[in-house]
Amino acid sequence: MNKWKFPYGVDLMPSGHNNTAIEMFLDNIIDSLTREVIQNSLDAHDKSVDNPVKIEFNFSKMRTSEIPNVVQIKEALKKAKEMWTEKNSKDTLDYLDHFERTINNEEVSILKISDYNTVGLDDKSYASLVVGNAYSEKSNEASAGSKGIGKAAPFASSNLRMVFYNTVPVYGREKSAGVMNFVSYYKNKVNNEITQERASFVDENKTYLDRQYTFNYPERRKDEYGTDLFIIGLKQFDDWEIKILLSAINNFLVSLYKDELEIIIHNRVLNVNTLSGIIEELKEIKLSRSDNVEFENTLRYYDVLINENTLKFHLDERFEKYDFIESLEDGYLLLLDHDPANRKVLQTREAGMKIYERNRINGKINFSGVFQAVGNKFNAFLKDMENANHNIWSVDRLQDKKIKRNGTSLLRDLLRWYKDKVKESYETASDKEIEAFGISDLLPIQEEADSDVKEKKDSGIRNRVSSIEIETTRLTNQNKDGDKEVEQWGKIVREVDDGPGNMSGPGASRTGDGGGNSPDGQFGGGDEKGERGGTGERTIGERKRQIGPSEKINVKIIEKNASLGKYFIVGIPRTKLKKINIELKNVGADGQTYNVKVLSVYSSKHDTNVNKNSIDLELNNQIENFKVDFQVDSSLRSKMEATIYEITG
């Protein structure tokens, strides 16, 4: 009988349940699992096969007694509880209690994830995925993964942190193995022999089982190359199917559209032919607020891919200086002028996986864009700048100073290229004449807060528009247009000004003890309650869609007193709106955005409500300018941007 191997040694450092790699994927388990397993399969695409990579998700249950050598696992559990009770580690004991309840159930859930049209796991890739830790060996420079961290995502979705691998590779022999990320325990307390946390179910003198292990599923044919993952003790979530489909579309839109990826869930197929239909179905499903925002962004990028008016540009001469760019066709940019728009560029590499959305490109033109790097060396360079979650490019990850300078220059050139192409493609002569008015609609204008603050020159409105100056040299007529901008916003402020604002008035505030984690993990959820706003949750039946900033509505965020976190918003609706939601984000120096925690909001003329990092505002179908005071949980001066949604239903 095969046994679980629990490696041990004398005086090893004991490890509890807080596995760093697994912890990275616990905030959004389904999305993380979907993203990581798909990118692994895309990296293993068999280039000799014309068909796209196919990935199947199958859910089932099995008797817990069928887990290989479950008796040995229960013995290890008993020893682990003894050790961690002695160490009085509550977190680890809580985890072991949950583990015990799962393994004592009559049945456990299984998720089988299988890929096809891939090369499977050869000796090197098997060693890095199954045997090794924190490194990755890929077959090509353009692979999506690189850090060896993503393989922890399947374990995060298991109550037992148990995954079995089964592979039939193009090169090598079929093999399988079980891995369980457990905790340390005393193998021999007298000798201080302590186990490692990682256990494996393999043949006695090998690092694998010399056969296929498929948990009653059919074995693969000898020519059916690819890999199966069996997640044992799958955590229970509602709507696994919908969430996998949503994650796949959000993260691999380009791969799906280019017919490089096909996903099957319970015989439901998502590929280039069904993409449009499944998107329409997802539009009708009530999604969480954060999921809805991301999906709406994806819809606009999809429009970029399918719209006949989309413009395509290859890299220009500014990129010729980089030795890792072998041809100007190593990357391309798609742009579309449409409304509503993201005003961002979705950035991807050859695998087609979303890395991140580049913003701060143009604050006036309604555009969305998609960038893809397709050259091998170009992809390899960008991959070196990616973090473990594959959601940012950062030069700080580069080691050599010269290479780091190249990285800084490349990211700067990409941003300037995006800016130039948007401007050249969609800016009209009349736009240029009034560019200064629209260019900073979502940047804070500084207002002098108190009489003891020294007056400074700054862009915008200060001291309730008693004195205005604009500093800029961008255009020859910019000072004139800048004055026009401030004059118009100043006029609006005077029209709607209802005094300095009283945050203790009949507005809304965030109250309660934070009761959970927000989707981005930045602060506790709490209960958002206000005198007018109720619970701060979306009413059943309400739907939201992005409408601004656009010709329908525009806003300006004005600083009142940054040290106290006080700002106000001036808005110009140009159509009748009953209710809107204003989502606020800080804009970092690198152009990335971060959630703002809104503490309170006030308006003497409109009902308001704090809703997490956003503000709900009742406009009652009136076309009139508005002013709303709000306070954020920060004393640092920062730029902010706002996204406007119409609430209907």
Contacts of 87 (CB under 8 A, 6+ apart): 14
**Per-residue model confidence (pLDDT) at position 132:** 65
What single string gives the DSSP state of each residue in 346-370? EEE-TT--EEEEE--S-SSS-EEEE
Output the CA–CA distances (angstroms, integers) from residue 118 to 131, 146, 437, in the order listed. 20, 18, 53
Contacts of 571 (CB under 8 A, 6+ apart): 553, 554, 555, 556, 625, 626, 627, 628
**Per-residue model confidence (pLDDT) at position 495:** 63
**DSSP-based three-state secondary structure for 115:** strand
More confident residue, 145 or 294: 294
- Looking at the predicted structure, is the pLDDT value of residue 427 above 70? yes
- Looking at the predicted structure, is the pLDDT value of residue 75 above 60? yes
Confidence of residue 385 (pLDDT cuts 50, 70, 90): very high
Q: Which of 103-107, 176-180, 299-303, 427-431 is predicted least confidently?
A: 427-431
Distance of CA 151 to the CA centre of its chain: 18
pLDDT tens for 518-548 read 333 333 333 333 333 333 445 555 777 888 7
**Per-residue model confidence (pLDDT) at position 364:** 85
Mean pLDDT in residue range 413-433 = 81
Alpha helix segments (H runs only) across 258-324: 275-283, 289-306
Contacts of 89 (CB under 8 A, 6+ apart): 16
User: Between vectors from CA 77 to CA 71 and to CA 78, what angle results, nearest 5°?
Assistant: 95
Q: Which of 324-328, 435-439, 630-634 is predicted least confidently?
A: 435-439
pTM of the model: 0.69
- Looking at the predicted structure, is the pLDDT value of residue 622 above 70? yes
Cα–Cα distance for residue pair 490/486, rounded to 1 Å: 6
Pairing of strands 367-373, 345-348: parallel
Mean pLDDT in residue range 485-509 = 54
Pairing of strands 543-548, 508-509: unpaired
Q: Average model confidence (pLDDT) for the chain?
A: 82
**Burial of residue 465, with CB atoms counted within 10 A of its CB: 0-12 exposed, 13-18 middle, 19 or more buried:** buried
What are 49's two structure tokens? 């096969």
How many C-beta atoms surround the C-beta of residue 243 within 10 A? 20
Beta bridge partners of 108: 62
Mean pLDDT in residue range 48-63 = 96
More confident residue, 647 or 322: 322
**Per-residue model confidence (pLDDT) at position 446:** 47
Mean pLDDT in residue range 450-467 = 34
**Per-residue model confidence (pLDDT) at position 457:** 34
**Per-residue model confidence (pLDDT) at position 560:** 84
- Most confident segment among 78-87, 508-517, 538-547: 78-87
CB 537 within 8 A of CB 554: no
Q: Where are the domains of the chain?
A: 4-236, 238-427, 428-649
Query: Most distant CA pair in the chain: distance in Å?
Result: 85
Confidence of residue 142 (pLDDT cuts 50, 70, 90): very low
Cα–Cα distance for residue pair 388/380, rounded to 1 Å: 15
**Per-residue model confidence (pLDDT) at position 518:** 34
Distance of CA 288 to the CA centre of its chain: 15
Cα–Cα distance for residue pair 395/380, rounded to 1 Å: 14
pLDDT tens for 195-242 read 999 999 999 889 999 999 999 999 999 999 999 999 999 999 888 999
Is-cis flag, bond preceding 340, omega within 30?
yes
Confidence of residue 1 (pLDDT cuts 50, 70, 90): low
Per-residue burial over 176-190, b if 16 or more Cβ lie within 10 Å, else e, is: bbbbbbbbbbbbeee
Mean pLDDT in residue range 132-154 = 57
Cα–Cα distance for residue pair 233/70, rounded to 1 Å: 13
What are 368's two structure tokens? 């969305």
Percent of the chain scored above 70 by pLDDT?
78
**Per-residue model confidence (pLDDT) at position 491:** 65
What's at 586, amino acid-wise? N
DSSP label of 129: I
Mean pLDDT in residue range 471-494 = 50
- Looking at the predicted structure, is the pLDDT value of residue 510 above 60? no
Contacts of 627 (CB under 8 A, 6+ apart): 493, 496, 497, 498, 568, 569, 570, 571, 603
Is-cis flag, bond preceding 549, omega within 30?
yes
Closest among 92, 219, 234 to 162, alpha carbons compared: 234
**Burial of residue 399, with CB atoms counted within 10 A of its CB: 0-12 exposed, 13-18 middle, 19 or more buried:** exposed
pLDDT tens for 164-198 read 999 999 999 999 999 999 999 999 999 999 999 99
